Chain A
């Protein structure tokens, strides 16, 4: 066995097995996130939510998936066929690709690369392509308007997100995700960098096109925005990609601010629960807040969205970055290089 794993084929097989071990739970998580969202929204609006298919409606996601598969894929006559089909694939693939570097536990990352956080940032900044290409290839005005909104929105919020990440990196002194979590062994970064945590969370909402920033698909103005022309499985891929991105953003927030796999207190009942479980709990908490926000806030107007990104978050995160750097230098807390 050891010998086989050392060969290139064995290495490949091992990597594929690792990827499967991560992606299969992830996809099941995505399926149940759609269920959880409907249940939580229902509870918040004094409804029942899905409760017919299976106990507590637990089989609802699979019923939905089968329904999607059975439907006909419609490609509009004026659409750019190749790009139209490629767009949902890009969205879904990027949402899966980013998970390669996520450390679920100390040393449990498929690829523990030096520039892990940059890789994540790069992949999340590519997410906009699926949306723009979908909007353009559909050859529909609603879809195109949705795509344009999305491009402007995601680029705007990426800027402040970049500053948030730089602030965290200053405190860690490494771009490696495992190192970032290890630096939080004593104190989670949410405590010293709380304002950055808030900015990161709101930017994550904007990056994933979630309410109150779901303008790219704002159904009251744009019918369904960029995916108005999509049906059946191509629609389902967008849908899954969006939810996988939500989980990814929650994982990123967990790694940057909520101490990754660490228990909140290093004492007995908390340390009995293994690290990966804590990681999943924290992701679930973030996802619950994502859904909570959706149930609570009305959609932003587009100019207000841009104002918030450029005139509030950008200056604030820039000032906080300088303050953090100054404090680290002044008190000699800079991580040893």
Chain B
């Protein structure tokens, strides 16, 4: 009863916020609604008993991907008038694309049927006595380890590609080489002063304590202000 109520609540909020993602005027609000959508999807995973997937969804999508997304969208200087300008012109093309997609979806769902053993899996997704984190791990790292590694490799290639495309070898930038700085000697010295001793007693950075202060006093005698009090 409570689970069903929670399901309908999360599902309703999910659909409402997903609609808000595409209809909201401000792109930053769109991203924030997208985050709300992710959250509700995670809650639905939790209700389905897939707590590992729920947490990974929050960590990866909400905690990392959406942050970077928000980061970029906030920095964009978007002219809302210019965005809406071509709406009339592009509406027919958009309509055609949308209709094709809808048709495809209808075709897919029209011939949809459950696999013969799906009902059994649905009732008992993980073997008895194994939590779903462990069950997922077994499937991904034992049964499908090569596919899993391959998908990781594809992502790596994509990342290297992005870096290669955007990295320009700048010759004008100055770089800090921390190792060289630390290894440098001569101009900067490291000293270990005695604990509790004043600077005067150690004899660094100041003239000795017994140096006469007389001439300095005379030089500043005619000043009406200053920090030598």
> Which residues of A are in contact with B by a Cβ distance under 8 Å?
8, 83, 113-115, 118-119, 121-122, 125-126, 128-129, 132-133, 136, 144, 147-148, 151-152, 154-155, 158, 175, 303-304, 307, 337
Contact assessment for A126 and B62 in the assembled complex, using a CB-CB cutoff below 8 Å: yes
**A151 and B133 in contact, given A115-B55, A118-B59, A122-B55 (Cβ under 8 angstroms):** no
Q: Bound state CA distance, A126 and B52, in angstroms?
A: 17
Contact assessment for A122 and B63 in the assembled complex, using a CB-CB cutoff below 8 Å: yes
Contact assessment for A155 and B51 in the assembled complex, using a CB-CB cutoff below 8 Å: no
Q: How far is the CB of A119 from chain B (nearest CB, A)?
A: 6
**A115 and B67 in contact, given A125-B59, A126-B58, A303-B176 (Cβ under 8 angstroms):** no
Output the nearest chain B residue to A86 by Cβ-Cβ distance: B32
**Contact partners of B134 in chain A: CB under 8 A:** 337
- Of B32, B59, B131, B176, the residue contacting A121 (CB under 8 A) is B59
Which of B52, B63, B68 is most buried by chain A, counting CB atoms within 10 A of its CB?
A: B63
**A114 and B51 in contact, given A132-B67, A148-B75, A175-B133 (Cβ under 8 angstroms):** yes
Chain B 8-61 residues near chain A, CB threshold 8 A: 28, 32, 35, 51-52, 55-56, 58-59
Contact assessment for A122 and B58 in the assembled complex, using a CB-CB cutoff below 8 Å: yes
**Contact partners of A129 in chain B: CB under 8 A:** 35, 67
Chain B residues within 8 Å of chain A by Cβ, number: 24
Beyond known contacts A129-B35, A129-B67, A151-B67: 4 more, CB 8 A cutoff = A113-B51, A122-B55, A126-B63, A148-B71
Q: Bound state CA distance, A129 and B133, in angstroms?
A: 27
**A114 and B131 in contact, given A119-B55, A148-B71, A303-B176 (Cβ under 8 angstroms):** yes
Can you list 5 A-B pairs with a CB-CB distance of less than 8 A?
A114-B52, A118-B55, A121-B55, A132-B71, A307-B178
Determine if B211 is an interface residue (Cβ-Cβ < 8 Å).
Answer: no
Determine if B162 is an interface residue (Cβ-Cβ < 8 Å).
Answer: no
**Contact partners of B52 in chain A: CB under 8 A:** 114-115, 118, 175
Output the nearest chain B residue to A125 by Cβ-Cβ distance: B63
Q: Bound state CA distance, A151 and B68, in angstroms?
A: 8
Contact mask for chain B residues 59-81; partner A; CB cutoff 8 A; 1 contact, 0 none:
10011100110110011000000
**A155 and B74 in contact, given A115-B51, A126-B62 (Cβ under 8 angstroms):** no
Contact assessment for B28 and A136 in the assembled complex, using a CB-CB cutoff below 8 Å: yes
Determine if B2 is an interface residue (Cβ-Cβ < 8 Å).
Answer: yes
- Of A8, A115, A144, A148, the residue contacting B2 (CB under 8 A) is A8
Chain B 103-146 residues near chain A, CB threshold 8 A: 131, 133-134
**Contact partners of B58 in chain A: CB under 8 A:** 122, 125-126
Output the nearest chain A residue to B35 by Cβ-Cβ distance: A129
Contact assessment for A151 and B55 in the assembled complex, using a CB-CB cutoff below 8 Å: no
Contact assessment for A151 and B71 in the assembled complex, using a CB-CB cutoff below 8 Å: yes
Output the nearest chain B residue to A118 by Cβ-Cβ distance: B55
Q: Bound state CA distance, A69 and B59, in angstroms?
A: 35
Contact assessment for A151 and B70 in the assembled complex, using a CB-CB cutoff below 8 Å: yes
Output the nearest chain B residue to A301 by Cβ-Cβ distance: B176
**Contact partners of A155 in chain B: CB under 8 A:** 64, 67-68
Contact assessment for B51 and A304 in the assembled complex, using a CB-CB cutoff below 8 Å: no
Q: How far is the CB of B21 from chain A (nearest CB, A)?
A: 16
**Contact partners of B28 in chain A: CB under 8 A:** 136
Chain B 130-168 residues near chain A, CB threshold 8 A: 131, 133-134
- Of B51, B63, B71, the residue contacting A152 (CB under 8 A) is B71
Output the nearest chain A residue to B75 by Cβ-Cβ distance: A148
Q: How far is the CB of B155 from chain A (nearest CB, A)?
A: 14
Contact assessment for A128 and B67 in the assembled complex, using a CB-CB cutoff below 8 Å: yes
Q: Bound state CA distance, A158 and B62, in angstroms?
A: 13
Q: How far is the CB of A303 from chain B (nearest CB, A)?
A: 7
Q: Bound state CA distance, A103 and B219, in angstroms?
A: 69
Nearest 9 CB-CB pairings of A with B? A125-B63, A118-B55, A122-B58, A122-B59, A115-B51, A151-B71, A115-B55, A136-B74, A122-B55
Output the nearest chain B residue to A124 by Cβ-Cβ distance: B63
Q: Bound state CA distance, A154 and B67, in angstroms?
A: 10
Q: Bound state CA distance, A303 and B56, in angstroms?
A: 30
Output the nearest chain A residue to B64 by Cβ-Cβ distance: A155
- Of B56, B74, B131, the residue contacting A132 (CB under 8 A) is B74
Contact assessment for B67 and A114 in the assembled complex, using a CB-CB cutoff below 8 Å: no
Contact assessment for A125 and B71 in the assembled complex, using a CB-CB cutoff below 8 Å: no
Q: Bound state CA distance, A280 and B81, in angstroms?
A: 57
**Contact partners of A148 in chain B: CB under 8 A:** 71, 74-75
Q: How far is the CB of B71 from chain A (nearest CB, A)?
A: 5
Contact assessment for B133 and A115 in the assembled complex, using a CB-CB cutoff below 8 Å: yes
Q: How far is the CB of A334 from chain B (nearest CB, A)?
A: 13
Contact assessment for A118 and B56 in the assembled complex, using a CB-CB cutoff below 8 Å: yes
Q: Bound state CA distance, A148 and B32, in angstroms?
A: 16
**Contact partners of A121 in chain B: CB under 8 A:** 55, 59, 63
Q: Bound state CA distance, A83 and B51, in angstroms?
A: 29
Output the nearest chain B residue to A148 by Cβ-Cβ distance: B71
**Contact partners of A126 in chain B: CB under 8 A:** 58, 62-63
**Contact partners of B70 in chain A: CB under 8 A:** 132, 151
**Contact partners of B56 in chain A: CB under 8 A:** 118
Q: Bound state CA distance, A132 and B131, in angstroms?
A: 36
